[in-house]
Each structure stands twice: as structure tokens, then as C-alpha cells.
Amino acid sequence: MFIMSIEPSLSRRSLVKLRKRLAALTLTGVFVLLFSFFFIQKTLYDSAVEHASAQLEATAFRLGSMLLLHNDVDLQKIVADNSDITVGLLDNQLNQIKGFIPPHLIGDLGDYISTQQTDRDSLVCVHSSEVMVLAYSKLPQINRIVVAYTPRSALLNNWRDAFILHALMFVMAMTILCGLAVWLWHRLKRQHMRAANLAEHFSDTENTLAECGCAVISWPAETTDGKLTAQLNWPEILGPTAENIEPTMTDFLDRLSPESRTKLRGPLIDNVWQDARIGTMVDIRTAKNQMQRFYLMAHRYSEDNREFISVLLLETAAQQELCHPFETYLRHTPEPAIVVNQDGILKGFSPALEELMGLPVHDIVNKPFFMLFVPEDQQTAMTAMRQKNGTATISDGKSILRVLDRKGNVRWLAWHCVGPFDEMIFCSARDVTEFVENANKLRDTLDQLKRSNEDLEQFAYVASHDLQQPLRMVASYTQLLKQRYSGSLDQEADEYIDFAVDGAKRMHKLISHLLEYAKTGTREDFAPIDCNQVLNEAQADLKDVIGREHATITHDDLPTVKGDRIALSRLFQNLLSNAIKYRRPGVSPHISITVEPDPVMRDYWRFSVRDNGIGIHPEHAQRIFRLFQRLHKDEFSGTGLGLSLCRKIVEQHGGRIWLDTSRPLSDPGTTIIFTLRVYHAEASRIGQNNP
């Protein structure tokens, strides 16, 4: 809400006046404190003197009473507890009998007694420039007068202590008052300067808006008298009202043309708003009784639990930039961009889009915007803009559509649209042609790689399968040669036949393993598998070799994983077979299988297969998992496919397999570690074991 007016005297002169007022207020406070302090002290002093005199008078009376009872009593000893009090005894003619009383005090006492009718009283005298308090008590029965006197200062010790305390409190109050005055002065000065800056800012803003042909008015939504709560630049833009009275809401509505009044009846007159704000062109009658075109923006807002309506008016000449802000947006944006009205008509485009598409974009202005795109994408562009209650909006605001550049090449543009704002939808684009082309190339490469892998697997399967028949024939005939001619030929011929038979067996085994390797990984219908059962099946398949080599196998309670039962059984069988095969001479194989939650990947189990065999040097940690790699060709037979097959099985199940290179060389044996993904039903178990 605009400020109607700001105090015009926010200047250095007013600041000096404010400082003088604050100083006067501070001095007044100091004077009041001083007056109060001295008045209170005077009252307390008089009260203390009166109280001391009464006490001294009571002392003289008490001494006189004692003297009546005992004529020879020593009066000075009676008051020995107060060394400041001096006691004397006079006769009725004021002659001293006991003690010492200065003569001038006796003279003052005589003058005082001659004017008094009481038997006892007190008076204040001066002795050696010191104020004394004197009290007497007449004893007419024995023709005596008891006199007691003391310096008045000795009777005012309590008042003096109170005076010092009050003085300290007064100093503290004065300090607080002065400090508060200084703090208040600085705070008022800051507020004053802030208000002055605010006034200057509003003055500059008002001048700027006036130069731009801008006027602002505001009134309560539920108004009865139509009085404006704010008005800025009304006389400068719309002209003064009749008789120069304060303008009202009615004055504004009366200046609207009939068409504009009808257009604004709902929100401004009937207070019925479809949206929180509106923007439209209106015709208003100015002071010259001429209709002038204005751009009107109105909105509702709340303040102090009340609803208000604010209206901003822009003259036609000054509103072109603000009335159509999309023109500024299009002129300055570095990206291809367009502005579309709610009917889907292209109203403007950015220089970047013109640079991209060339002259044809000019032909589409004031035509359906989807004509920008290639025919195949025009329907997509149309469906991106949907109609709702006669107003076009953007369904998702994001689309990737194709256009033709100035050379006729297809360019992919990723569009982002927002709106509508003031009946316009703003759309900006980013050229993603290179990204789309790279994505298509990557997709083609992946498809080609997939086909290549499928062809390779098919080739390995067919080759392995087709080699089985001729290999069986070779093996059969070499075995027949060995059976029929073994011992009939010389020793060298028998050795050659043995080589042929052994080679045929190894070739058969190699082809079988290769065929199994090609088949591995083709199944994707994984199911929950209990690893304990899979391990038992693997041990059953190796029952003979386990018994022959006296191997012992221990294992933890293994979890359930999701996978291929046959492949996992082959995994355990290969690892157990290797652990038994590569044993140390004279040492029975011992194999331990443990499992734990993987410390690095929380959704995986980590299996460890540990043996006490000949071990593997860490430098061969990568080599052992490659195809046809054998470390002990002369000592042990094999195809070099066992661990390669294990790696393929584990990777097919989403895990990893590796050699534990942290095992010291002094501890003979090998530890193979692999991971398998946790089956969802085991989530609670692994969560308990691996917090």
C-alpha cells in the first residue's frame, strides 16, 4: 500500500529541534530528581533532629527521676555508654552544682526556660561554632535542674548513613537517565535518518512513476463511502477532480468508458474475482474530457484482516514496455523463445529463434504457434496446450520438439513454458540436437553390442555343440586302437596312442566347459535360493573326490538369495573342486565357507571360501579369472575355465568376485571372496547383523 504523505519536515532543522526537545526533557528529569532528592533529605533531616531531641529529652527526664530517688547518684556514669552526652546539675537559679555546662549554654537555657511553662524540654544551641542539642528536666521537689547536651552531629549518624545511600542511588539514577537519554537520542536519530531516506526514496519513486505516466489508487474491498486509502499521481495523470476535492473510488469508476466499466464490473464493482489479479486495456476520461488509453493492472491484498483493491494505471505511451513485458523478454533472452496468447497464436519470438530458423518464422506471427514445428510434432505441440474454462494453460510445461533451421536441417529443441501471465504464455527453448544425436548413437551402439553378444553366445554354443560329435568319434576310435593294439606295437606307439586318448578326453572336457560357459548367464528368471541347499548339492556332486582326498568342509548358516539354482550350484562346485584339487602334498584339504553382511555395500552378502592348499600369489589376482588361464599347467590338469565361469555367474547375479590378497604368505592357502545381492525377505536379518 502506497504512503499517502510523508512528514515534510524530515530535515536537519527538524533533527536539531528534536535534539533540543530531548535535552530539555532530560534536564527536566534531572531537576525533578534533584528537587525530590533534597526535599526527601530535608524531611528526613528534620525528622532525625526531632527524634534525637526527643531521645535526649527522655534521657534528661530519666536522669532526673533517678536523682529524686538517690540524691548522690553519679549522673555521668549512668550515660557512660554514650560518650557524646554530657550531663550537668543546676539549681533553680541556674548555678552549676555538678558537671560542666558552658556558660553561654546556661544563658541560652535560662532565656529558653523563662519563656516556657513545661518542666522538661529540649532546645538547639551553638557552642564553639558547633550545633548542640540540649535537654533539661526540672526537679522542683529538690530545687534542681538536670541538663544533658550533645553535639547534634552525634545524634544524626543514622541519617548520615541514609543520606550517603540516597546520594549513591541518586547518582545511579542520574547515570541511568543520562544513558537512557543518549541511547534514545541515537535511536531517534537513526529512525529520523531512516525516515528521511524513505521519504527521499518515495519522492524519487513518485517522480519516476509520474514521468512514466503511472498512477496508483487503492480502496477497501468492502467500502461504503468509496474513500481512497492511497492515491499516487492522480492529479498529474488523470487531472484534478471537480472543485479539487479528494478523489474517491466513484470518481475513478465514473471516468471509465462504458466498455471498460463493463469489463471491470466483476472485480472492481461487484467484488467478484476469478483470479487474484487482472490486467487489461481500458479507456479513461482525463481532465480534458478526452478518452485516453491506459493499461490497468488490479489485484486484491489483505492488510490488518481487511481486504483492499489496488489499481495501477499506465499511460499508453509509457505502458508499451510494461504492458507487453514479453517484448523486453524476447529482445534480451539469449535462448530461442516465443510468446503465445491464450488462443495459441504466436505473438512474438526472440532473435535467437530467428537466427536459428531464418525468415520463415516471420510468416508464422499471428498464426497458430505449432506451425513452427515439423509436421510430425505439430500434434504434440497442440496437445501440450490444453483449454480450461476458455483459458489456455500448459499441461506439463516441458516438451522436446523438432524445427527446421535456415539450412533445412532438423534441430531438436527442449521447450519449457510457463503461464498464462496477463493472457500470454512464455516459452523458452534449448537446442539439444547434439544431445539427442549422441543419445541415438549410444542407443544404436548398445543395440549393436547386444546383438554382437547374442551372436557370440550363439556361436560359442553352436560351435561347442557341433564339435561334440566328431570329438566323440575321435575319442572312440583312439580308445579302440588302445584296446586292440596296446602291447602289440612297440612302446613308442603305445605312448602315442595314450597321448591321443588323453588329448581327446581333455578336448571333450574343454568343449563341455566352454558350452557350459556359453550357457551361463542366459537365464533371467531368478527365484529365492537357499544357499545351504545349493552347497549341499555341490558337495553331493563332489562326494567321491571329497571322500578320496579326505576333505573336510565347514560353513556358516548361509542366507537365502535370489538367483539361478543351477548356476549357484555350479559356483560352489567349482570353488570346492579347485580348493580340493590344488591341495598341498600330504595335507588333507580343509575348506571353510563363511558369510557376513558386506561392509561396503549394505544390500549384499559377502561369502568367503577359504582353504589350506598351495595358495595363489597376489600378483595373479586378476589373471586367474580370465579365460583359459592356468597357473600350474605341469602339476595339475584343467581347462582354465573354472574361475572364469565363477566370475560370470557372480556378475550375472549382480555381485563381484576377487582373490583375498591380504592373506599373508606365511598362512598357506587361498581365500576367494564373492558377493551376492540380499534377497528382500532377508533385509531384516542383514539389518540386525550390520547396523
119 pLDDT exceeds 60? yes
User: Which of these ranges, 69-78, 363-372, 375-384, has the smallest mean pLDDT?
Assistant: 69-78
Task: Please give the share of the chain, as a percent, with pLDDT higher than 70.
Answer: 70
Best CA proximity match to 610, nearest among 622, 596, 597:
596
Q: What is the mean pLDDT of residues 77-83?
A: 62
Q: How many CA atoms lie within 13 A of 540 on its CB side?
A: 7
Q: Calculate the average pLDDT of the chain.
A: 74
Last residue of a domain, one of 277, 292, 322: 322
Question: Count of domains in the chain?
Answer: 5
Question: What is residue 674's predicted lDDT score, i.e. its pLDDT?
Answer: 92
Which of residues 427 and 286 earns the better pLDDT score?
A: 427
Residues 197 and 290 grouped into a single domain: no
Q: What is the mean pLDDT of residues 526-539?
A: 88
Q: What is the mean pLDDT of residues 496-500?
A: 72
Q: What is the mean pLDDT of residues 307-336?
A: 68
Residues 262 and 225 grouped into a single domain: yes
Question: What is residue 321's predicted lDDT score, i.e. its pLDDT?
Answer: 44
Cα–Cα distance, 5 to 231 (Å, whole number)? 10
Residues 22 and 115 grouped into a single domain: yes
Helix/strand/coil (H, E, C) string of 180-242? HHHHHHHHHHHHHHHHHHHHHHHHHHHHHHHHCCEEEEEEECCCCCCECCEEECHHHHHCCCH
Note the maximum CA span of the chain.
183
Cα–Cα distance, 477 to 464 (Å, whole number)? 20
The CATH number of the domain holding residue 618 is: 3.30.565.10
Task: Please give the share of the chain, as a percent, with pLDDT higher than 90.
Answer: 4
Residues 222 and 198 grouped into a single domain: no
pLDDT tens across 614-652, in order? 878 777 777 777 755 555 554 555 555 678 888 888 888
The CATH number of the domain holding residue 501 is: 1.10.287
Q: What is the mean pLDDT of residues 566-590?
A: 85
Residues 224 and 123 grouped into a single domain: no
User: Which of these ranges, 139-153, 315-329, 520-534, has the smallest mean pLDDT?
Assistant: 315-329
Last residue of a domain, one of 168, 190, 210: 210
Residues 9 and 120 grouped into a single domain: yes
Long-range contacts of 567-571, Cβ-Cβ distance < 8 Å, separation of 24 or more: 567/520, 567/521, 567/523, 567/649, 567/652, 567/653, 568/529, 568/531, 568/534, 568/649, 568/653, 569/534, 569/537, 569/538, 569/541, 570/516, 570/520, 570/538, 570/645, 570/649, 571/646, 571/649, 571/650, 571/674
Cα–Cα distance, 226 to 249 (Å, whole number)? 5
Residues 56 and 1 grouped into a single domain: yes
Residues 446 and 421 grouped into a single domain: no
pLDDT tens across 186-219, in order? 777 777 677 666 656 555 555 555 555 677 878 7
Residues 250 and 385 grouped into a single domain: no
Residues 108 and 144 grouped into a single domain: yes
Residues 490 and 425 grouped into a single domain: no
Question: What is residue 688's predicted lDDT score, i.e. its pLDDT?
Answer: 46
Range of the domain at 480: 437-515
Residues 245 and 275 grouped into a single domain: yes
Question: What is residue 673's predicted lDDT score, i.e. its pLDDT?
Answer: 92
pTM: 0.36
Question: What is residue 367's predicted lDDT score, i.e. its pLDDT?
Answer: 81
The CATH number of the domain holding residue 266 is: 3.30.450.20
Cα–Cα distance, 398 to 201 (Å, whole number)? 42
427 pLDDT exceeds 90? no
Question: What is residue 6's predicted lDDT score, i.e. its pLDDT?
Answer: 39
Last residue of a domain, one of 300, 322, 344: 322
pLDDT tens across 242-285, in order? 666 677 777 788 888 877 787 787 777 777 777 777 777 788 88
